[in-house]
Amino acid sequence: MANCIATQEIHQKYGGVVPELASRAHQEQIVPTIEEALSIAKMELSDIDAIAFTRGPGLMGSLVVGVSFAKALSLAIKKPLIDVNHMKAHVLAHFIENEGTAPPSFPFLCLTVSGGHTQIVEVLGSNNMSVIGATIDDAAGEAFDKAAKMLGIDYPGGPELDKIAETGNPEKFSFAKPRIKDLDFSFSGLKTSILYKIRDLSQDNSDFVRENKIDLCASIRKSIVDILIDKLLKAAKQRGIRTLAIAGGVSANRELRRRLLALEKEGYKVHIPQFEYCTDNAAMVAIAGKFAFERGEFASQGVSADPRLKW
C-alpha cells in the first residue's frame, strides 16, 4: 500500500486556504503524486481494480481537478470509477489494516472533527451511517485556527496551539460555553468569548498575550475539547452505544485523544486512528472505495463534483 500526500505550503503565506491556489496546486501535483504512489507500491496502473475519488464535500475547484482526472484515467485504462463521500471516508479510515489494531465493531459513534465539519455519526455498517449531531455554525477545527490567529500563531494554527498547550494551565482562563440543545454544536460564541477575553485583558497590559500565551492555549484547547466530549457522551447515553471513535484532522489533537482514551475507564471501547489517517489522505478514500467495490457500487462517467455532498 502507498499513502502519498502532497502538502500545499503556499497557504501558510496567506494565513489560510485560498481556493484558487488550492485547485491550481492540485493540478500541478496530482500526476507526480500518483506516480510516486505507484512506485512505492511497486504497481502499474494496469494492476489496480478500480479508481476511487472524492466527489465531495469540499472546495469545488479542488474537487473538479480530482473528479476530472479520475474520469479521464478510468477511460484511459478501462477501470471502473468509485465516487467517495469525503466525510464517510474519514469514518472508514478506522478499517485500514494496522498490525495489532482491530477496527471498531458496529454499531459505534464517530466524532468527525475537522476545519470544515464537526459531526457525531452513528455508524451501523460500512454503508449505513447517519449524522445525529452537527455544528450549526463554525467547526471545531476553525475555532482552533481562529483562536490561534488571535494569539499570533501562524497558519495552520490549530496544531501549533495544541503543541503549545501541552505545558500550560488549562484552568487559568475560562470562556463562555454554548448552550445548544440536543446533539448539535456551536463554536461561534466561543470564538467571540475568546476574542473579548483577550481584548479586555490586553487593555491594561499590552503584553498580556505574549506573557500568557501558553496558558491561553491550554485553556482554549480545554474549552473546545470539553464541548466535543460532552456532546459525544450525551449521544452515547441516548443511543446506548459504548463503542466510540474519532476521525478528521482535529482527531490528531493530543488532549482530545487523551480525554477519549480516559473514557475506557468508564467502560467505553475507544478507537483512535493513527496520526497519518487523521488529516485528509488517500488511504481513507481507498478503504471507502474498497467497501463500495465489494458491494458492486460504481459511478458513471456522468458523475460530477459536489462541494455540498450529503450523506
> What is d(CA 39, CA 235) in angstroms, rounded to the nearest whole number?
44
Between these two residues, 276 and 1, which has the higher pLDDT value? 276
The three grid cell numbers given for residue 153, joined into one nine-digit string: 500563531
**Distance of alpha carbon 110 from its chain centroid, rounded?**
12
Q: What global pTM score does this model have? A: 0.92
Confidence class for position 123, pLDDT limits 50, 70, 90: very high
pLDDT at 138 over 60: yes
Read off the pLDDT of residues 43-77 as tens digits, 9 standing for 90 and up: 999 999 999 999 999 999 999 999 999 999 999 99
pLDDT at 9 over 70: no
The three grid cell numbers given for residue 51, joined into one nine-digit string: 479508481
The three grid cell numbers given for residue 274, joined into one nine-digit string: 493513527
Single out the residue of 209, 107, 101 nearest to residue 150, CA to CA. 209
pLDDT at 230 over 80: yes
pLDDT of residue 17: 67
pLDDT of residue 24: 83
pLDDT of residue 264: 98
Domains of the chain are: 10-90+279-295 (3.30.420.40), 103-273 (3.30.420.40)
Sign of the torsion formed by the C-alpha atoms of 284, 286, 289 and 291:
negative
pLDDT of residue 155: 83
Strand partners for 98: 101
Confidence class for position 285, pLDDT limits 50, 70, 90: very high
Question: Strands 81-85 and 51-56, how do they pair?
Answer: parallel
Between these two residues, 11 and 116, which has the higher pLDDT value? 116
> What is d(CA 235, CA 120) in angstroms, rounded to the nearest whole number?
8
Task: Give yes or no for a cis peptide into 273 (omega within 30° of 0).
Answer: no
- Say if CB 256 and CB 112 are below 8 A apart: no
pLDDT of residue 50: 98
Rounded mean pLDDT, 267-272: 97
> What is d(CA 202, CA 216) in angstroms, rounded to the nearest whole number?
13
- Say if CB 53 and CB 305 are below 8 A apart: no
- Say if CB 57 and CB 309 are below 8 A apart: yes
Read off the pLDDT of residues 62-115 as tens digits, 9 standing for 90 and up: 999 999 999 999 999 999 999 999 999 999 999 998 766 889 999 999 999 998
Rounded mean pLDDT, 255-264: 98
- Say if CB 78 and CB 195 are below 8 A apart: no
- Say if CB 298 and CB 82 are below 8 A apart: yes
If you average pLDDT over every residue of the chain, what do you get? Answer: 93
Confidence class for position 235, pLDDT limits 50, 70, 90: very high
Between these two residues, 285 and 8, which has the higher pLDDT value? 285
How many C-beta atoms lie closer than 10 Å to residue 1's C-beta? 12
The three grid cell numbers given for residue 18, joined into one nine-digit string: 485560498
Q: Does residue 230 come out as left (phi exceeding 0), alpha (psi in the -120 to 50 range) or beta?
A: alpha
Read off the pLDDT of residues 177-226 as tens digits, 9 standing for 90 and up: 999 989 999 999 999 999 999 999 999 999 999 999 999 999 999 999 99
> What is d(CA 45, CA 28) in angstroms, rounded to the nearest whole number?
20
- Say if CB 84 and CB 286 are below 8 A apart: no
